[in-house]
Structure 1
Amino acid sequence: MRERPGLDRNLDSSTFLDFYYLKEEMVEFCRKYGLPVSGGKMEIAERIAHFLDTGGVLPVSGKKKRVTSLLEITEDSRIEADFVCSERHRLFFKEHIGKSFSFHVGFQKWLKSNTGKTYKEAIDAYYQILEEKKTGAAKIDRQFEYNTYIRDFFADNKGSSLEQAIRCWKYKKQLPGHNRYEREDLVALE
């Protein structure tokens, strides 16, 4: 088994991308080498990989969030471009969905990719997304590899403890390649 190398300037991008690094580790690396630290884990990883290959600095994506131009949000209102999860939106959805409403990742993504649809359609989508989460049909994005791994571990190992799942996760992230759960990862429990 090849051990996970420390994150430093001597790595090449393919080695870096083969292993799992915490966002905190990547942010520390960026600060050390003068790279921007803003953005999500995937954006930071792309920036580091580019830096390791070229020594150059990728610019930060220039997306600016706009404040909603809607004075009043109704079910017939259209979802605005560059949607921002504001307090006004939260109040609207809590009024129509209930106090348990939250801007979970799946719903945020739906809102941001469905500009022009109505808020009534958004409410329907919220319930559909919740249903998909219950059945396990919801896809977890790559930046949430840990969550995906733990979910898949428990699906394959009913009755196991979270401590066992975490031991297998720690073993897996030290290996090169993908970080998806595989039955062979149970070797970490021996």
Structure 2
Amino acid sequence: METRPDIHEVTTGAELRRWYWLRAELADALRDRGLPVSGNKHVLLDRLATFLDTGDVLRPKPRAQRSDFDWHSAPLDPTTVITDSYRNTQNVRRFFRDHAGAGFKFNIAFMTWMRENTGRTLADAVEAYHAIRADGARTRSTIAPDNQFNKYTRDFLDDNPTLGMAEVRKYWALKRARPSEDGRHTYDPSDLDLG
């Protein structure tokens, strides 16, 4: 079986992309080469792969000016406008518990709604939360492609309902230690043969 190389020994972008890397590993490899380490995991992967293949440095994009509204401590009411700097904070959670109900919980669909509805009010958000909750019983949230572990977990447990998170972690560790053509590691029933 082919073993996962040390990230510092990888010499091509193609080889780098065959393996699963933690963001911290990518950041360390970039830092050791004197390259920028800002951005999400996929930005770091692209930056390192480009550098390995061409020697070019992909610079971080300048951040757009954002609202300075303080979601951590500002007083919130139903007329508060959702800004581009929105964050899920304890202050926001308290507001929604008071206005949407004591059972309020953030969920992926609602967090996506908040992110995509800058300019709307928190009153609109309360209505959206209730609509999402009503619809949520019938639909399953989509897991973003970046969240390989979450997708693997859902698919693994759907296929193996008698197994739990300990087994998910075991087989995920075995799976991600192996290469893949595109660097994506998805659940396959044959994964149970890995260990």
Please state which band the TM-score falls in when normalised by the shorter chain. 0.7 to 0.9
Partners of 2:131 and 2:119 in 1: how far apart?
A: 19
Query: Would the aligned equivalents of 2:108 and 2:141 in 1 still touch at CA under 8 Å?
Result: no
Gaps of 5+ in 1: none
**In the alignment, structure 1 residue 165 sits paired with structure 2 residue 168:** yes
**In the alignment, structure 1 residue 181 sits paired with structure 2 residue 187:** yes
Query: Would the aligned equivalents of 1:66 and 1:84 in 2 still touch at CA under 8 Å?
Result: no
Gaps of 5+ in 2: none
Identical residues among aligned pairs (%): 29
TM value normalised by structure 2: 0.77
How does 1:61-100 map onto structure 2 within 5 Å?
61-63=61-63, 64-68=65-69, 73-85=76-88, 88-98=91-101
Partners of 1:39 and 1:106 in 2: how far apart?
A: 24
TM value normalised by structure 1: 0.78
99-108 or 16-25, which deviates more: 99-108
> Which amino acid in the other structure matches residue 147 of structure 1?
N
C-alpha displacement at 1:143, in angstroms?
3.1
Partners of 1:188 and 1:134 in 2: how far apart?
A: 35
Partners of 1:58 and 1:156 in 2: how far apart?
A: 40
Query: Would the aligned equivalents of 1:167 and 1:188 in 2 still touch at CA under 8 Å?
Result: no
> Which amino acid in the other structure matches residue 67 of structure 1?
D
The total of aligned residue pairs comes to 189
How does 1:19-38 map onto structure 2 within 5 Å?
19-38=19-38
How does 1:1-190 map onto structure 2 within 5 Å?
1-8=1-8, 10-63=10-63, 64-68=65-69, 73-85=76-88, 88-98=91-101, 101=104, 106-127=109-130, 129=132, 137-173=140-176, 174-177=178-181, 178-189=184-195
Give a deviation string over 1:84-125, Cα, whole Å, max 9, x none.
445553442232234554555554333222212332332233
Query: Would the aligned equivalents of 1:129 and 1:138 in 2 still touch at CA under 8 Å?
Result: no
Q: In angstroms, what is the RMSD of aligned CA positions?
A: 3.1
Question: Aligned pair in 2 of structure 1 residues 112, 100: CA closer, same or farther (>3 Å)?
Answer: same
Query: Would the aligned equivalents of 1:140 and 1:147 in 2 still touch at CA under 8 Å?
Result: yes
Query: Would the aligned equivalents of 1:149 and 1:169 in 2 still touch at CA under 8 Å?
Result: yes
C-alpha displacement at 1:181, in angstroms?
0.7
Partners of 1:31 and 1:20 in 2: how far apart?
A: 19
C-alpha displacement at 1:36, in angstroms?
2.1
Question: Aligned pair in 2 of structure 1 residues 90, 43: CA closer, same or farther (>3 Å)?
Answer: farther
Question: Aligned pair in 2 of structure 1 residues 65, 104: CA closer, same or farther (>3 Å)?
Answer: farther
Question: Aligned pair in 2 of structure 1 residues 83, 180: CA closer, same or farther (>3 Å)?
Answer: same
